[in-house]
């Protein structure tokens, strides 16, 4: 599990650096303190047996980035921070799931496949964000309401579809 | 779907709504990686698997403490499964100890590939059911997780500890028709002298008692031997919770079970027809039979025996004697309670020869306490012992053979000495004295 462990440490460091830098840009020492405190707490909780821990810290970090976006954080840095913390959350859970397994060639293959997939997620998200940010659209309140309504319907349909699928299997 | 799916969905929903209603594109931007992550998870969602499991045990019947190898093979007959976690299910009255290996495994399985769960267990007396394997299948992100149960059933019996006992000399009132080790109180072919009768045509000449015949010139007399036959033996195990004692050494019932198993083994080795009756939480019966298969049946029944409370069977008044043929030798293994006296005397008076092997509960329980520190406890112990001795004496006076067994001493020694000292043939003489 060496690859995952290194990836997890790198994700933590990147998330800490990017988000702290973003808060430093707006001279928010409180933001830097909270970010670092939160990530250190997450790091310390690695030894805790509870599987809830990574999710709690993940949600907390997203919340920090969300609040930061209203304080004026640079969107690209918040976005990269969220990507890094998503990687950390995923690697942490992956590491916890596979911790006791013997480290052989097949295990290394599984780790590699997982790593490739999470990097593919990162790449896709960056490309989509780049495309999205290059567009500029003026939307009035009615269209926003319609978009919101469509988002709710489509996501709830997706969830019910997935739920049926998992129950059916 | 797992908690992670709901967490991601909630975060995506939340961020999109915050973005839409605050007319700020950053929260929507922050939701994008999560949306992509969820999209990848959906794309690699685990398929409905087709898994087959088979189980191999090195033995289905084992003895106490002996290691048993278990191998469970799970074959994937479906598409590639990215992450599969296998956990074996074991159910039993007592816990099995994993000596080597583990009950769980996590791995990836391609089509046609198999995974083996190999472990070694050892355990206490009991009957253990292996039901099957619990499989948890998910993709690499762990967002979608489906659970399946793959049956792979097997049953394992761990027999009680059997002590090899010397041949036990019993004297039932009735024997069976086949040759065996018990003197049948009937003249015929045998080794022990039984009596003299008048010569009958066909008697071998070497059996003629010439000394006696010389006194009666007109007749001849023949020596007669006592026939040796097998008998019906009914073993009764007291499994009432009220008569059991728990101490740091374990349960007294375990000693009773081991003694019953050892007695069954000894009687079956002597060629007797042996049946078993477990009286306590319910009534469990093994019909009388001979040989190794019967031994196996009895040991299997003993392996699953446990104490329990049944108010209908809390005293021995409801001990059904119809299960055993009349005039059978009954051997009861019970710590005995004061109220058992009358039912046992009544049972004996109905024509059954009764031998009671009684693990001493007072000696067993006193081991928990330090008698030196507490003089009142010592007094209580002595009073309880007096009460027990009196009860055993009453049983002996009624013609019941009682063996008071302190469980720390060897059962073989105790039974051998008691049976030798108290030959059943002298029963009437003892009562008279």
pLDDT tens for chain B, 433 residues: list them.
Answer: 778 888 998 999 899 888 878 878 889 889 999 999 999 998 888 888 888 999 999 888 887 778 899 999 999 888 888 888 898 887 764 578 888 888 888 888 888 888 899 999 888 888 888 888 999 898 888 888 888 999 998 888 889 989 899 988 887 777 776 777 777 677 777 778 888 989 888 888 888 999 999 998 888 999 988 877 778 899 999 999 888 888 777 889 999 999 999 999 999 998 888 999 998 888 889 998 988 999 999 999 999 898 888 887 878 888 877 788 888 889 999 999 888 899 999 888 888 889 999 999 998 888 777 777 788 888 888 999 999 999 999 999 998 999 999 988 999 999 888 887 544 444 443 443 3
Rg (CA), chain B: 34
- In this structure, what token pair is assigned to residue B80? 């590639």
Would the CB atoms of B27 and A79 count as touching at under 8 Å? no
Would the CB atoms of A120 and B40 count as touching at under 8 Å? yes
Nearest by CB to residue B32, choosing from A70, A129, A152, is: A129
Q: Give pLDDT, residue A167.
A: 61
Tell me if chain B has a CB within 8 Å of the CB of A7.
Answer: no
Q: How far is A53 from chain B (nearest CA, A)?
A: 12
pTM: 0.71
- What CA–CA distance (Å, rounded) separates A19 from A28? 11
- What CA–CA distance (Å, rounded) separates B209 from B206? 8
- Cβ within 8 Å of residue B189, ≥6 positions away: B225, B227
Instruction: Report in angstroms the alpha-carbon separations of A156 from A152, A159, B139, B195, B316.
Output: 6, 5, 22, 100, 67
Q: Give pLDDT, residue B94.
A: 57
Contacts of B105 in chain A (CB under 8 A): 101
Residue in A132, A9, A148, A25 with CA at minimum distance from that of residue B18? A148
The model's pLDDT over B413-430, given as tens digits with 9 standing for 90+, comes to: 998 888 875 444 444 434
Q: Give pLDDT, residue B184.
A: 67
Residue in A147, A67, A119 with CA at minimum distance from that of residue B26? A67
Tell me if chain B has a CB within 8 Å of the CB of A163.
Answer: yes
Q: Give pLDDT, residue B428.
A: 42
> Residue with structure tokens 């690859």?
A3
Tell me if chain B has a CB within 8 Å of the CB of A130.
Answer: no
Q: How far is B32 from chain A (nearest CA, A)?
A: 6
Would the CB atoms of B33 and A151 count as touching at under 8 Å? no
Nearest by CB to residue B140, choosing from A59, A117, A147, is: A117
Contacts of B101 in chain A (CB under 8 A): none
Average pLDDT, chain A: 85
Tell me if chain B has a CB within 8 Å of the CB of A147.
Answer: yes
Tell me if chain B has a CB within 8 Å of the CB of A157.
Answer: no
Which of A53-62, A130-139, B366-375 ranks highest by mean pLDDT? Answer: A53-62
- In this structure, what token pair is assigned to residue B270? 């002597």
DSSP state letter for B95: P
- What CA–CA distance (Å, rounded) separates B344 from B196? 38
Task: Please tell me which residue, A133 or B199, carries the higher pLDDT value.
Answer: B199
Give B116-120 contacts, CB < 8 A, sequence gap 24+: B116/B71, B116/B72, B116/B73, B116/B74, B117/B70, B117/B71, B117/B72, B117/B73, B117/B74, B117/B86, B117/B88, B118/B69, B118/B70, B118/B71, B118/B72, B119/B69, B119/B70, B119/B88, B120/B67, B120/B68, B120/B69, B120/B70
Residue in B56, B238, B362, B143 with CA at minimum distance from that of residue A158? B143
Q: Which residue of B has its CA nearest to A78?
A: B30
- What CA–CA distance (Å, rounded) separates A121 from B34? 9
Q: Give pLDDT, residue B433.
A: 33
Tell me if chain B has a CB within 8 Å of the CB of A128.
Answer: yes
- Mean pLDDT (whole number) for A106-117: 89
Cβ atoms of residues B62 and B106 within 8 Å: no
Would the CB atoms of B40 and A117 count as touching at under 8 Å? yes
Q: Give pLDDT, residue A163.
A: 72
Task: Tell how far CA B122 is from the center of its chain.
Answer: 15
DSSP state letter for B42: H
For chain A, what's the residue count? 169
Tell me if chain B has a CB within 8 Å of the CB of A74.
Answer: no
- What CA–CA distance (Å, rounded) separates B64 from B60? 13
Strand locations in B160-214 (E): 179-198
Tell me if chain B has a CB within 8 Å of the CB of A26.
Answer: no
Task: Tell how far CA B141 is from the center of its chain.
Answer: 47
Would the CB atoms of A117 and B27 count as touching at under 8 Å? no
Strands B401-405, B353-359: pairing is parallel
Query: Residue A117: how many CB atoms within 10 A of its CB?
Result: 20
Q: How far is B242 from chain A (nearest CA, A)?
A: 42
Q: Which residue of B has its CA nearest to A118?
A: B37
Q: Which residue of B has its CA nearest to A159?
A: B9
Q: How far is B84 from chain A (nearest CA, A)?
A: 11
**Predicted confidence (pLDDT) at residue A138 exceeds the cutoff of 90:** no
pLDDT band at A155 (very low <50, low <70, confident <90, very high): confident
- Mean pLDDT (whole number) for A35-53: 81
Helices (H), A45-138: 53-71, 75-98, 105-134
Interfacial A residues in 35-64 facing B (CB < 8 Å): 55, 58-59, 62
Cβ atoms of residues B178 and B215 within 8 Å: no
Cβ atoms of residues B278 and B245 within 8 Å: no
- What CA–CA distance (Å, rounded) separates A15 from A17? 6
């Amino acid at each position: 599990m060496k690859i995952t462990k290194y990836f997890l440490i790198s994700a933590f460091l990147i998330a800490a650096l990017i988000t702290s830098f973003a808060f430093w840009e707006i001279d928010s020492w409180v933001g830097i303190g909270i970010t670092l405190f939160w990530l250190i707490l997450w790091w310390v909780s690695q030894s805790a047996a509870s599987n809830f821990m990574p999710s709690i810290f993940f949600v907390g970090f997203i919340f920090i980035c969300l609040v930061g976006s209203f304080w004026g954080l640079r969107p690209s840095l918040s976005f990269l921070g969220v990507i890094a913390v998503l990687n950390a959350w995923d690697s942490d859970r992956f590491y916890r799931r596979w911790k006791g397994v013997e480290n052989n060639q097949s295990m290394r293959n599984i780790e590699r496949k997982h790593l490739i997939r999470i990097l593919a997620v990162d790449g896709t998200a960056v490309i989509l964000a780049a495309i999205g940010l290059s567009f500029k659209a003026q939307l009035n309140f009615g269209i926003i309401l319609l978009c919101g309504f469509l988002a709710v319907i489509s996501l709830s349909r997706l969830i019910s579809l997935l739920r049926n699928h998992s129950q059916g299997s | 779907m797992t908690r992670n799916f709901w967490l991601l969905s909630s975060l995506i929903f939340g961020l999109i709504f915050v973005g839409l209603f605050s007319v700020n594109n950053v929260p929507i931007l922050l939701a994008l990686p999560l949306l992509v992550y969820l999209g990848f998870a959906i794309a690699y969602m685990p398929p409905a698997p087709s898994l087959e499991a088979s189980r191999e045990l090195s033995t289905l019947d084992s003895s106490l403490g002996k290691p048993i190898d278990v191998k469970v093979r799970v074959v994937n007959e479906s598409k590639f499964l990215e992450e599969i976690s296998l956990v074996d299910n074991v159910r039993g009255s007592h816990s099995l100890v994993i000596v080597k290996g583990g009950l769980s495994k996590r791995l990836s399985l391609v089509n046609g590939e198999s995974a083996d769960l190999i472990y070694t267990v050892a355990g206490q007396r009991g009957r253990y059911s292996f039901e099957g394997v619990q499989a948890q299948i998910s993709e690499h992100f762990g967002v979608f997780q489906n659970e399946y149960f793959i049956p792979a059933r097997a049953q394992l019996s761990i027999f009680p500890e059997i002590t090899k006992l010397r041949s036990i000399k019993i004297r039932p009132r009735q024997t069976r028709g086949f040759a065996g080790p018990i003197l049948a109180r009937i003249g015929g072919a045998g080794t022990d002298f039984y009596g003299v009768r008048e010569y009958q045509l066909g008697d071998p000449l070497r059996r003629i008692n010439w000394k006696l015949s010389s006194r009666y010139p007109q007749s001849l007399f023949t020596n007669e031997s006592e026939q040796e036959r097998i008998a019906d033996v009914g073993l009764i195990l007291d499994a009432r919770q009220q008569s059991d004692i728990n101490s740091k050494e374990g349960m007294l019932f375990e000693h009773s079970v081991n003694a019953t198993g050892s007695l069954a083994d000894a009687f079956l080795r002597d060629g007797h027809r042996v049946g078993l009756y477990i009286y306590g939480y319910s009534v469990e019966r093994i019909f009388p039979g001979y040989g190794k298969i019967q031994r196996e049946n009895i040991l299997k029944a003993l392996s699953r025996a446990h104490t329990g409370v049944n108010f209908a069977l809390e005293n021995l008044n409801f001990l059904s004697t119809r299960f055993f043929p009349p005039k059978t030798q009954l051997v009861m293994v019970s710590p005995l309670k004061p109220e058992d006296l009358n039912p046992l005397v009544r049972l004996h008076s109905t024509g059954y020869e009764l031998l009671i092997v009684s693990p001493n509960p007072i000696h067993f329980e006193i081991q928990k306490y330090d008698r030196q520190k507490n003089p009142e406890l010592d007094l209580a112990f002595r009073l309880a012992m007096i009460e027990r001795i009196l009860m055993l004496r009453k049983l002996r006076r009624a013609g019941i053979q009682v063996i008071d067994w302190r469980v720390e001493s060897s059962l073989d020694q105790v039974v051998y000495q008691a049976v030798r000292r108290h030959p059943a043939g002298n029963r009437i003489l003892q009562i008279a004295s």
